[in-house]
Every structure is written in structure tokens, then in C-alpha cells.
Amino acid sequence: MSVVGVIGAGAMGRGIAQVAATAGWEVQLFDIDDKVTEEAMAFIQKMLNRSVEKGRITDQDYRAITSRIYTTNSYEAFAECDMVIEAIVENLEIKQQVFKAVEKVVTGECILATNTSSLSVASIGSACEDPTRVCGIHFFNPPVLMKLVEIIPAVQSSNEVVNQANDWIRSWGKLTVLAKDTPGFIVNRVARPFYGEALRIYEEGIANPETIDWVMTEKAGFRMGPFTLMDYIGHDVNYKVTSTVYEAFYYDQRYKPSFAQKSLVDAGYLGRKSGQGFYNYGENEQAKNINKNEALAKEILERIVVMLINEAADALFWNVASANDIELAMTKGVNYPKGLLAWANEIGIQNCVDRLDALYDLYREDRYRCSPMLRRMGVEKSSFRL
Ligand SMILES: NC(=O)c1ccc[n+]([C@@H]2O[C@H](COP(=O)([O-])OP(=O)(O)OC[C@H]3O[C@@H](n4cnc5c(N)ncnc54)[C@H](O)[C@@H]3O)[C@@H](O)[C@H]2O)c1
């Protein structure tokens, strides 16, 4: 039986452990805090119990899956592991220390992977004596439900390691995409305008959060509007990702964080989890004040969608991933109603270019510069081949 070590039994680690055990792997689940591993086991049992109740798995499956998960507070338990996936606190120094220590106990063949969302995989791998064995395996939250996993080769990773990691994660029932080791990989890069441009429209006083959310769900087909989604993710988390991506891109204006969101973080209005974000949760929930003006809805929709398309096209321009992987990442990783490149084809590439140029002419901000990928395709009158 193949064995995976999971370091960190928090939100991500416990989900990854459940996915692996369900796929028939033995799991060694580690956390520095014993209470967390206990909670994680109870959580996994609760989730699996629910699956039994819903008839998705049998009692026998339940027993088999849970019996494959072992908890540990010692790295020695990783001695037999084929792969170790790290899902601890997002801090480079701590991750590097952990990789250094874990490398001492595992075999020479063991793959070491990080679930980091925002750190460079190369910097984590550099802590190892053999950095060729390190790659990124980026699950989405919650790992059990989200189909997508981004596989990220670092500059040091060997092809064998990346191919093997990819095969194993696919055998766990996941859809994988290959992403370059660049800030935000695919999803957390391409999705930025969904939040950023919505915040900008709100800050300019063009529309309130309710209206923007209504447009993006009812007119554009997203499952959640940007403000509802940010409230759900938590403004502390969402603002941190935006700020990290912004810094990592050497302060490219396209990723500039928003003062409106910073104010919420400063105030402790973190969203659903604190009872207040852009919306009020609980007793004080307000009535929604939606402006359903057609022209306004069109302006909001086009502006956010065209900025998302520009980001997807630019990711392709910089070879972050293939066109098909970018489409798969956004439809399966964050449930977009359709792939952004297919959406660009539908709107017409030159129409996207014109819309971006109009925004650029108005604001004269680098934020609205059109990707060379789109501009070139507009001139050539071509469309994305998907
Ligand atoms: N939460 C998400 O939506 C999400 C999505 C994708 C990736 N990630 C990434 O996954 C990683 C974990 O995120 P999370 O949300 O599960 O965090 P979390 O805070 O829920 O869990 C982290 C766990 O790591 C443990 N830990 C901290 N330092 C440790 C150490 N030195 N050794 C062992 N365990 C240690 C903590 O006790 C905690 O239980 C981060 O790198 C994060 O960026 C998170």
C-alpha cells in the first residue's frame, strides 16, 4: 500500500488526508498540536459518517478509510512514505525548517510537496539537500469537494517527480493542471480582478455591493457575487492573498489591493465569520438595495469579465499554463460559469481589446493595459483554440 505523510492537520491537511485515505492510501497525519490532529480525526469521521448516511459509501468503506489514517507527532512516522505533503502555516522560514527536518527521515525516493498558495515552490525546495524531489501540489478548499489540483514544478524539480506526483493525484480522483511557479499560480492570479475590479467599481461609487453581486450572479452566471464571496472567504485571508500577489508582482498596478477592503480588515469586519463584512450576518441583516438598471448591469458585467479575460490571456502570454489548463482551472477550481478564453471568443477578441482600451483611455492607469496576447489576436482576427 502506498503511504502519504501529511504535515499540518488544519483545514487543508485534514481534507487532503481524507482524499488520500479514500483513494486507498495509508496516511500519516502530523501536526505540532496534538489537539489539532485529534480534532482532524473527529472531523474526518464526521464527514465520512455523513457520506454513509447519504449512501455514498458503505459502513465497511467507512471502517476501511478511517483505519488507513494514523495520527503522529513525530517525523519518524514518515520513514516509509512515498510522498509527503506539507500544509502548515503560510510562512517561508517555518516551511523551510520543516522540509529540512523531514528530508532527514524519508527515503531518497520520497516526493516532498507543498500546498502553499502564495510562496514560491523554488524557495521552499531550496531548503532541501535534494531539491529535485520537491514540487507544489496545490489543493483547493475544501480538498474533498474541490476537483482541481494545481501541480507546480519548481525550477529545481525533476520531471520524474512532477509526473509521478501528477499521476498519483489523478489516481486520487482529482483533475490536475500544470502551473508555472509564479505568484498565485493559475487560479489565485487569474481570479484577482473578480475581487479587485468589483471593489474598484464599488469604491468609485458606481454601484453598491448588492447590485454588483446581483449582476455577477444573475447576469453573468457566477455562483456567488464577489462581495458575498469575499465575506465568505474572510477579508483577512482575501486581502492577504491580494497583497502577497501584488508584492510578488513587483507592485504591478493590476493587482493593487483596495482601501475599502483594508478598512474592513482594520475594523475586524472579516465577513461571515465575524458577523459583519460588506454584509451584516445575523440579527441585523439588511434588506437588499439592488439597482437593476440594464445599462448599469452591462457596464459592471463587461468591466469585470473583460478584466478577468485579460488576466487569463496574460497568464497564457507568460506561459503560466496551457489554454486548456487555464480554462479547466477556472471552471473546476473556482466554478466559473465558463472558461475565460472561451468567453473571450464568444465576446470577440477585438471587442475585448476595445473595451480594455476604453478603460485605459479613461483612467490612464497601467492596471487597464491590454495583454499583448489579446492585442495580437485582435489584429490577426484569430480566436483561442480550445
Ligand atoms: N485555507 C485555504 O483556503 C487554502 C487553500 C489552498 C492552500 N492553502 C495553503 O495550505 C496551507 C495550510 O493552510 P490551512 O488553511 O490548512 O491552515 P490552518 O491554519 O487551518 O492549518 C495549519 C496547521 O498547521 C499546523 N502547523 C503550524 N506549524 C506547524 C509545523 N511547524 N509543523 C506541523 N504543523 C504545523 C497548525 O497547528 C495548523 O493545525 C497554507 O500553506 C495555505 O496557504 C490554504
Do residues 117 and 220 share a domain? no
The whole-number pLDDT of residue 118 equals 87
Ligand 1, atom nearest to 91 Cα = 41
10-residue stretch averages of pLDDT, the chain, 386 residues long: 97 97 98 97 98 97 98 97 96 97 98 95 98 98 95 98 98 98 97 98 98 98 97 93 94 97 98 94 78 97 98 98 98 94 98 98 97 97 96
Do residues 124 and 252 share a domain? no
Cell of 208: 453598491
Do residues 381 and 332 share a domain? yes
Do residues 242 and 129 share a domain? no
User: Residue 40's domain is classified under what CATH number?
Assistant: 3.40.50.720
The whole-number pLDDT of residue 11 equals 93
Q: How far apart are alpha carbons 184 and 182 in whole angstroms?
A: 6
- For ligand 1, atom 4, the nearest C-alpha belongs to 141
Do residues 211 and 154 share a domain? no
Do residues 330 and 360 share a domain? yes
In the block, cell 497564457 appears at: 316
The whole-number pLDDT of residue 285 equals 66
Do residues 158 and 198 share a domain? no
Q: Is the CB of 382 under 6 A from ligand 1?
A: no
* Domain count of the fold of the chain: 2
Do residues 54 and 22 share a domain? yes
* Domain boundary, last residue among 145, 160, 178: 178
Q: Is the CB of 220 under 6 A from ligand 1?
A: no
Q: DSSP label at 366?
A: G
Do residues 259 and 350 share a domain? yes
| Count of H-run helices and E-run strands, the chain | 17, 8
pLDDT tens digits, residue range 312-366? Answer: 999 999 999 999 999 999 999 899 999 999 999 999 999 999 999 999 999 999 9
Instruction: For helices 349-363 and 340-347, give the axis angle rounded to 10 degrees.
Output: 90
Q: Give me ligand 1 centre to Cα 31, in Å.
A: 10
Q: Is the CB of 87 under 6 A from ligand 1?
A: yes
The whole-number pLDDT of residue 119 equals 93
- Pure H helices in 54-87: 59-67
Q: Which of 115, 157, 166, 188 is catalytic?
A: 188
- Prior bond of 209 cis (ω within 30°): no
- Pure H helices in the chain: 11-22, 34-53, 59-67, 92-105, 121-125, 159-171, 187-190, 192-203, 209-214, 226-233, 235-248, 259-267, 294-317, 323-328, 340-347, 349-363, 372-380
26 is catalytic: no
Question: Which sign does the torsion angle of CA 200, 206, 209, 211 carry?
Answer: negative
User: Residue 324's domain is classified under what CATH number?
Assistant: 1.10.1040.50
Query: Phi and psi for 114 in degrees, rounded to 5?
Result: -115, 145
117 is catalytic: yes
* Domain boundary, last residue among 178, 194, 222: 178
Q: Is the CB of 94 under 6 A from ligand 1?
A: yes
* Domain boundary, last residue among 178, 195, 211: 178
The pTM is what? 0.94
Do residues 281 and 345 share a domain? yes
203 is catalytic: no
Residue range(s) defining the domain that contains residue 25:
3-178
Do residues 17 and 104 share a domain? yes
Site to substitute for ligand 1 among 88, 123, 189, 273, most atoms within 8 A of C-beta: 88
Q: Which of 26, 120, 138, 371 is catalytic?
A: 138
Ligand 1, atom nearest to 14 Cα = 16
Q: Is the CB of 136 under 6 A from ligand 1?
A: no
Do residues 107 and 170 share a domain? yes
